[in-house]
């Protein structure tokens, strides 16, 4: 390896050690930024050292979970894997994953790389990463000020795929947007999908595509899961959902999901319908690159689908569930899960508009908040920079709520004086801060101290 690359790796490791010791962040992006400044070709040089295959995961929802499943299954087979485990999916985060995995000689010792990639960054990353397989989980509206409409996302990923025309493309065939993408590229395509209803009364939420992208006629659905996902076809030109290569069958929910995958029953620990899709995406990716899958089902049965984005806490006997919601479809699903809990509950919603979240919060108006009108919801509290927007949305739905300025104090009060069953929904910038608040409260209460 050239001296410039070794210097880039050395500096990146120093930056990582300094940032973690000084507690100035997780060190998931800055080392990559420094390394890329020193050697702009560092990612290309390191990624080609992976012995077997490089798998990239992109799309709107489910990237982190799908990528984590891939990583855990491969590691369960004793394989060495490079992964941006903390979800830092912009170019700097991807570079960080590789430079921090390199040794002092600038060498990579890895069988596979499983890399989560931001949709808008896919072109710049794919051209250097050169993945053998690209998994697209789904395409929904997200961060309108940065990303725009779904057509923009499709075009960006389409351009990215031009750099890797031989890469296997794995898509959610139930998603009209992903099918549109597949039809516009030259890559070999594998599809996954679900042919039966995931849950009764599952809210569909807003559909990104209503009309046929081929002829403009209104699409017909034989089965709707949520958003534009389901079994669909155009009655005029015949554009239709493809028959999936990988599918889940015999789906059953009793507190947690169980289903049959590749002819083998699997029982999971999750209750979120969308995680069936994430599991299928991961299996399809491993299948298409011919990676070992013998331990896939045992791993899934024990896998933690939370990834710090759906954390559960028990504090002084109170149940606290933290959810990330960053777009209308995701928010709709979280409200559905809250209503599925029949016990009395309090709900706290925190909405911010930082660059991390997206400064345009108009998507809040596309969410149906009716699930919060359930009699089991005792109180609804809103907070964050855009709490007034959230409050107005609920007002138009006839849902009473209170506003909180002090997030920590509000959460403490709801835990200790509320229904003892608290659900917190937040977008990105509030997620990690709220996790830290809950961890601190949990630690203090375990120690017997006053808050």
Query: Whole-angstrom Cα distance, residue 18 to residue 7?
Result: 17
pLDDT at position 391: 96
Q: Which domains does the chain have, with CATH numbers?
A: 3-302 (3.40.1190.10), 312-446 (3.90.190.20)
Strand partners, 192: 172, 246
| Pairing of β 318-324 and β 312-315 | antiparallel
Nearest to 416 by CA among 438, 432, 387, 447: 438
Instruction: Report the alpha-carbon angle 180-153-181, nearest 5.
Output: 20
pLDDT at position 26: 65
Count of residues making up the chain: 451
pLDDT at position 141: 81
Positions of the chain with pLDDT under 50: 451
pLDDT at position 104: 84
pLDDT at position 247: 97
| Pairing of β 246-254 and β 312-315 | unpaired
């Amino acid at each position: 390896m050239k001296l410039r690359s070794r210097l880039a790796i050395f500096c990146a490791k120093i930056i990582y050690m300094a940032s973690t010791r000084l507690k100035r962040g997780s060190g998931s992006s800055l080392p990559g930024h420094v390394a890329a400044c020193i050697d702009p070709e560092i990612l290309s040089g390191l990624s080609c050292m992976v012995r077997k295959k490089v798998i990239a995961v992109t799309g709107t929802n489910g990237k982190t979970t799908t990528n984590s499943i891939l990583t855990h299954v491969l590691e369960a087979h004793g394989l060495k894997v490079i992964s941006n485990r903390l979800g830092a999916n912009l170019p700097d985060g991807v570079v960080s994953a590789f430079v921090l995995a390199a040794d002092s000689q600038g060498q990579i010792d890895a069988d596979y790389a499983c890399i989560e990639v931001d949709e808008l960054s896919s072109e710049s990353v794919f051209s250097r990463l050169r993945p053998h397989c690209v998994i697209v989980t789904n395409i929904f509206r997200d961060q309108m000020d940065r990303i725009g409409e779904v057509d923009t996302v499709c075009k960006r990923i389409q351009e990215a795929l031009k750099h890797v025309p031989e890469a296997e493309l794995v898509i959610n065939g139930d998603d009209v947007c992903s099918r549109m993408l597949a039809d516009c590229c030259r890559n070999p395509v594998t599809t996954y999908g679900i042919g039966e209803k995931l849950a009764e009364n599952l809210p569909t939420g807003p559909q990104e595509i209503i009309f046929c992208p081929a002829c403009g006629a209104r699409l017909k659905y034989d089965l709707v899961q949520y958003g534009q996902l389901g079994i669909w076809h155009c009655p005029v030109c015949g554009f239709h959902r493809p028959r999936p290569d990988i599918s889940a069958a015999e789906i059953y929910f009793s507190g947690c999901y169980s289903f049959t995958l590749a002819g083998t029953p699997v029982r999971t620990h999750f209750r979120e319908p969308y995680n069936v899709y994430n599991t299928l995406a991961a299996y399809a990716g491993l299948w298409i690159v011919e990676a070992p899958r013998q331990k896939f089902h045992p791993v899934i049965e024990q896998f933690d689908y939370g990834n710090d984005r759906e954390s559960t806490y028990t504090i002084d006997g109170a149940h606290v569930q933290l959810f990330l919601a960053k777009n209308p479809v995701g928010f709709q699903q979280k409200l559905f899960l809250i209503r599925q809990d029949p016990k009395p509950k309090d709900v706290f919603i925190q909405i911010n508009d930082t660059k991390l979240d997206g400064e345009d919060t108009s998507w809040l108006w596309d969410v149906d908040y009716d699930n919060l009108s359930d009699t089991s919801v005792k109180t609804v509290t809103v907070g964050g920079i855009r709490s007034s927007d959230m409050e107005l949305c609920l007002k138009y739905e006839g849902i009473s709520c209170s506003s909180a300025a002090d997030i920590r104090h509000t959460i403490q009060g709801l835990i200790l004086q509320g229904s003892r069953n608290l659900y917190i929904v937040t977008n990105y910038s509030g997620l990690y801060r709220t996790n830290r608040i809950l961890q601190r409260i949990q630690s203090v209460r375990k120690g017997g101290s006053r808050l």
